[in-house]
Amino acid sequence: MSITNKSDSGDRADSPNGKATAIAADSAAPLGTEVRDGKFGFVITGVEPNVPSVGDNPYLEQTAQGKYVLVHVDVTNTSDKPQSYFGDNQKLIDTQGRQFSNDTAAELVMNPNIRFEINPGNRMSTTLAFDVPPDSQPEQIEFHDSMFSDGTAAALN
């Protein structure tokens, strides 16, 4: 299975070294700026980079293999129809070009009232949890409307 990545030209291409190549750093929107992909607008409202575990309930607590990077996001449905949102579609890219998926179990512990369908014009606030190695330095997040979309990037610093 090859990893596909967005290049400077906006095309998706395989990385020759097998690592994810982030959307060009100069094209990633600054932290706190709305970015859009498909029918969603995304705004990062905060980042917590070194969290060892999440959850207040000791029976549901999730502990990171490395460390969690928590990304607080407002997701807005910009279309005229209900749209399903999935945290699994979002990817974190670190400064080494490695790509990480959202830890769904940790996301559900932190967001017990999360809605997966957002009605037109409505906004949902959520926290994504990415379990990364201790040496990882998060650089950007690639937001996706769906698993098939090209995505759009926002800087994490």
Question: Alpha-carbon distance 91 to 151, whole Å?
Answer: 9
Judge contact between 32 and 154, C-beta under 8 A.
no
The per-residue pLDDT for range 26-61, each reduced to its tens digit, is 578 888 899 999 999 999 999 999 999 999 888 999
Reported as a pLDDT band with limits 50, 70 and 90, residue 114 is confident
Q: Does residue 124 lie in a domain region?
A: yes
Domain coverage including residue 87: 35-155
Torsion of CA 64, 102, 98, 62, to 10 degrees: 0
pLDDT of residue 81: 97
Question: What one-character-per-residue DSSP string does 125-141 give?
Answer: EEEEEEEE-TT--EEEE
| Domain count within the chain | 1
| C-alpha–C-alpha distance, residues 42 and 33, integer Å | 8
For residue 132, report the phi and psi dihedrals to the nearest 5 degrees: -120, 160
Task: Look at residue 50 and tell me if it is in a domain.
Answer: yes
> 124: domain CATH number?
2.60.40.1240
Mean pLDDT, rounded, of the chain: 85
For 118-137, write each residue's pLDDT tens digit: 999 999 999 999 999 999 99
Specify if 56 maps to a domain.
yes
Residue 88 pLDDT? 93
Position with higher pLDDT, 109 vs 27: 109
Cβ proximity of 101 and 141 under 8 Å: no
Residue 59 belongs to some domain of the structure:
yes
Note the pTM of the prediction, 2 decimals. Answer: 0.81
Residue 131 forms part of a structural domain:
yes
Is 55 a member of any domain?
yes
Taking only the tens place, the pLDDT of each residue in 49-98 is 999 999 988 899 999 999 999 999 999 999 999 999 999 999 999 999 99
Q: What is the pLDDT of residue 142?
A: 97
Q: Is the pLDDT of residue 3 over 60?
A: no
Contacts of 9 (CB under 8 A, 6+ apart): none
> Is residue 20 over pLDDT 80?
no
